[in-house]
Chains A and B, each alone.
Chain A
Amino acid sequence: MLYHDVLIVGGGLAGLRAAVGLCDKYDVGLISKVHPVRSHSIAAQGGINAALANHPDARDDTPEKHAFDTIKGSDYLADQHAVEIMCYEAPKIVYEMEHWGCPFSRFPDGSIAQRPFGGAGYPRTCYSADITGHVLLNTLFERSVERGVRIYPEFVVVTLVVKDGRCHGVVAIDQIRGQLVSISARATLFATGGYGRIYYYSTNSLTNTGSGIGIAYKAGVPLKDMEFVQFHPTSIIGTNILITEGARGEGGYLINKNGERFMQRYAPKAMELAPRDIVSRSIATEIEEGRGFESELGSYVHLDLRHLGREKILERLPGIRSICLDFLGIDPILEPIPVMPAQHYSMGGIDTNERCQTDLEGFYAAGECACVSVHGANRLGGNSLLEAIVFGKLGAIAIDDDLKKTNGKPDSLEVEKAKKKVEEKIYRLGSHKGEKPFRILDDLRKTMSTYVGIFRTKEGLEEGLNRIMELKKRAEHMGVTSPNLFMNYELISALELEYMIDICHLITLGALLREESRGAHFRRDFPMRDDRKWLKHTMARIGKNGEPEISYKDVVITKYEPTERKY
């Protein structure tokens, strides 16, 4: 039985920034499924947006312009007050990271270097070559070491404990000691990341199951805008490892099998630097209409960097080159890279306000698992690292404010009770010979990539939904080799699978109900945006019988009137 004033779940950028913001004042514990430096934030490549105006072509850039680009990029589904808060915080956050030691790349004058990115009016993306996530995560982890943040690595949260409309803590598996642990806390913040691994084709780490989002949903916390799933235009074929938007920011071309720079047809002005939803649909259309290349690993187009030259590739995109050499046996200095779109980011998530508060007292969320919403229907590249750090910081401030106002103690008996229930569940999973989780998961991923992908239709989504319901039934009868809690990864996947199926259900249902096309949600049968009917957030809450209840919430508009989105 553990107690902390504040419990943070997740050791990526959002979780670490929140912990660093609170640890001088409160007893903070941070639990993480993997060691913090293994978190998925590490994999971010291209950069973090902030209107620093360091680039010679961006001297008149401002946070307001950053906010406008973000709102337009979101296809007007983002809550504009939240976007403004994030974009005004952005320069402060980037300077803070720099002061804490983050090794950004530099311009010749010694200022932080900035590069062009998709959907942005100015070169505004601060970077460190193509390992920006790596340097930011290391910087925040280093700061957490300096401040002495208490970290529990390889703890997997299984359930959130709620009683009388208040969160009292969590039950987690300590994998290394092989124990179930109940942890009570006055405030609990989830920074558990996205759900990429519910898709067959995803750029995400294997650990990105989205179970944090599912755990919150099961505990009665509403989720928002789940149907908005970002597909990144450029992942390498086979493994779907990400090739940063920075590759196009530095001047890379997308080429079809006829040798055309096909973005001319879809976004004649922005070309390869149109927002991700548009570029992904363009690539998918080229492939569908027979202008892609075919291979055993799937259809693809070329991302050609050769004209950038050896020196620029080695200096600005060295990580991309290693990925191509290690995983494709291709040197992008000499050959074009075969790429295809793949699931990349979860715009939707746990419904929070701009202070990371949720509907449940004492429970907060920040980063990719949360939906504020600052990304609306489509996130701009360079805004996810920003969101994670900004809202980690703001979440810490909100928790501090809230804890100052009350001195309520969590109900630790309730947390113990919840632990008993989890024990029984785990015993059941490990003591009967049911279907193995991986088979169900495999079918789930294929279902999502086939029916709930870049292009959607009523028939396809209905078929997807039927299949997900069947998988839900199969999952009720699954079993694992052993109920032992010690380093039992198979057990963890079985526990997470239940939450993954719920997430798939909500994405598909939200997509079926939303009869319009907006940002990353594209309905072939409703190809236009419909502001009159659909300028609103989808809210999903678990009902009494366990079925989702869907409602809608207005989008916050401050001063940017929704207009047609052209690039």
Chain B
Amino acid sequence: MKGDIYTFKILRYDSTIPDKGPEFQSYRVRVIPGLTVLTVLNRIRDEIDGTLAFRSSCRSAVCGSCAMVINGKIDLACRTQVAQFGTREIILEPLPNLEVIKDLVVDMTPFWKMYEKVRPYLIRKSPDPEKESYQSEEDRKRIDQFVNCILCACCYGACPVLSRDPEYLGPAALAKLERFISDSRDERPMRELEFINTDKGVWGCDMVMRCIDACPKGVRPTDSIVSLRKRLLKYKIFGKEKK
């Protein structure tokens, strides 16, 4: 049989048995070239240990289910090649900054709570036209990178501010807010941004850009935070509405 033997060390924990703390369990698996971490996880659950818990769905890096820590780096298990690390040992841990439910499955509730706080939808005051609202190609391009966010929470797990302040809105929610504010069709008034004008909002960011490193889709949440800060300042100093 082809392929090399790898050891997968996976941090196991069951929140229904809290007395038993988290501990690593090792699985030895033969890996042929080209396999992803997610493929191996599925094989472990199928063939070795039916009790292993992890989330997955699209297996093509678009649904955002399988974010975790892989050999110390936050990424999606589905797009991470086992062979890329140059070692025969792969260590898998759940995403930081969120409570573990079981093994590699974390409780995303706080993440979604922050997402909902920013009113993550297009807000219009004008009546809808009969056809589409027109938007120039240039205006459409402006929101491109933030539209790409798949809400996988890689950035949330990587954020050093969130690790000390769980009340901080976090990179994904702020990037989502910028996605709407910078959309030429959105008409939310700037005074609505008062809630991010705090150290739980845009001023909480340390600007160490771990979120940018962690994002599997090339989104730069720090850019959104810088942009939101500028908008706030312009509004505060000059009373300037957006655009």
Contacts and interface: CB of A to CB of B under 8 A. Distances in A.
Given A143-B121, A326-B79, A489-B45, A42 B59 contact: no
Interface stretch (A97-105, A251-259, A271-279, A496-504): A97-105
Contact of A142 (B120, B135, B137): B120
Interface string B93-129: 0000000011101011000000110011110100010
B209 interface: no
A98 B124 CA distance: 12
Given A146-B121, A487-B105, A178 B183 contact: no
Interface string B55-67: 1111111111100
A326 B58 CA distance: 14
Contacts of A152: none
Interface stretch (A31-39, A384-392, A469-477): A31-39
A103 B183 contact: yes
Contact of B59 (A39, A128, A134, A239): A239
Nearest to B150: A134
B140 A103 contact: yes
Interface string B126-157: 00101111111100100100011011000000
Q: Is the interface of B mostly helix, strand, loop or mixed?
A: loop
Interface in B152-199: 180, 183, 185-186
Nearest to B179: A103
Q: Is the interface of A mostly helix, strand, loop or mixed?
A: loop
Contacts of B49: 481
Contacts of A486: 14, 16, 102
Interface stretch (A76-84, A107-115, A417-425, A520-528): A107-115
B180 to A, nearest CB: 7
A436 to B, nearest CB: 7
A59 to B, nearest CB: 14
Contacts, number: 149
Contact of B58 (A35, A40, A94, A489): A40
Nearest to A178: B16
Contacts of A100: 121-122
A110 B136 contact: yes
Given A145-B116, A487-B105, A101 B122 contact: yes
A438 B61 contact: no
- For chain B, the bracket of interface size reads 35 or more
Contacts of B133: 98-99
Interface string A105-133: 11111111000000000000000100100
Given A110-B137, A487-B105, A489-B52, 14 more contacts: A37-B150, A39-B57, A40-B63, A42-B62, A101-B121, A101-B185, A101-B186, A106-B135, A106-B140, A135-B147, A326-B61, A438-B46, A487-B103, A488-B51
24 contacts: A37-B63, A37-B150, A38-B58, A98-B132, A98-B133, A101-B185, A106-B137, A106-B140, A111-B134, A112-B132, A131-B147, A142-B122, A178-B16, A206-B42, A206-B57, A239-B59, A242-B60, A327-B36, A436-B46, A436-B47, A438-B47, A486-B14, A488-B53, A489-B52
Lowest 6 A-B CB distances belong to which pairs? Answer: A101-B122, A110-B134, A490-B50, A481-B50, A438-B46, A142-B121
Interface of B: 14, 16, 34, 36, 42, 45-47, 49-53, 55-65, 79, 101-103, 105, 107-108, 115-116, 119-122, 124, 128, 130-137, 140, 143, 147-148, 150-151, 180, 183, 185-186
